[in-house]
A and B are shown apart, each in its own frame.
Chain A
Amino acid sequence: EDKVVQSPLSLVVHEGDTVTLNCSYEVTNFRSLLWYKQEKKAPTFLFMLTSSGIEKKSGRLSSILDKKELFSILNITATQTGDSAVYLCAGPPPLSNTGNQFYFGTGTSLTVIP
């Protein structure tokens, strides 16, 4: 049983398109949800979301969390070939847990065509 489910599994778009990546989870009482970008090597941190409804933004990337409906989205506007990567969602450990372990989804593979 997957704790974190990402969709779609893969996506191919043209440069300039806007994409929305989805992440759903099952834990209701938690601290945070994370988004990462993974190219050839290690995942690199994008966002940590802790509050529902508050958008986090970094350049053309933005993300928001809906704690009521148990999902998060990652938006990328005006996509570029450098956005091609696997995007990983990591959520959430329960608040009662003293650790900081996160469970990752299988990721969404994004390919941006020139």
Chain B
Amino acid sequence: NAGVTQTPKFQVLKTGQSMTLQCAQDMNHEYMSWYRQDPGMGLRLIHYSVGAGITDQGEVPNGYNVSRSTTEDFPLRLLSAAPSQTSVYFCASSLDANYGYTFGSGTRLTVV
């Protein structure tokens, strides 16, 4: 099993550009989440999903959109990139509420 796969691993964007961070898992996990990690801030929840067709906002959702059309995929869209969105982004998934999350390897995003 590949686990949780994130692409790309690195990305540089110009301010105002849009892009989609991809996340796919092959473990048939219902729950998926996106986190961003900044120095001194820990992991902060952006959006999460409890199943296909169901998404909700986390702590820091502004500037990001998500959708969950399939169980496997949970893409994160940056609508108009800003330097404040420079961060490392992690996607994570879990089977259900009784299990911890498995994390992807992360995407390092720089917005200039």
Known: A41-B106, A42-B90, A43-B103. A31 touches B97 (CB 8 A): yes
> Are B43 and A43 in contact, CB atoms less than 8 angstroms apart?
yes
List A residues at the B interface (Cβ < 8 Å).
Answer: 31-32, 34, 36, 41-45, 48, 50, 88, 90, 98-107
Nearest-CB residue, chain B, relative to A93: B97
Closest to A106 in B: B42
Stretch in B20-28, B44-52, B63-71, B74-82 touching the partner: B44-52
Selected from A31, A101, A106, the residue in CB contact (under 8 A) with B45 is: A101
Measured CB to CB, the residues of B under 8 A from A are 31, 33, 35, 40-45, 48, 50, 56, 58-59, 90, 94, 96-106
* Also in contact, A100 and B44, with CB within 8 A (given A42-B103, A45-B101): no
Flag if B97 contacts A101 (CB, 8 Å): no
In the complex, A45→B101 CA distance in Å? 7
Determine the residue in chain B with the shortest Cβ distance to A34. B100
A98 nearest in chain B by CB position:
B50
Whether B56 lies near A88 (C-beta < 8 A) is no
Chain A residues near B58: list those with CB within 8 A.
101
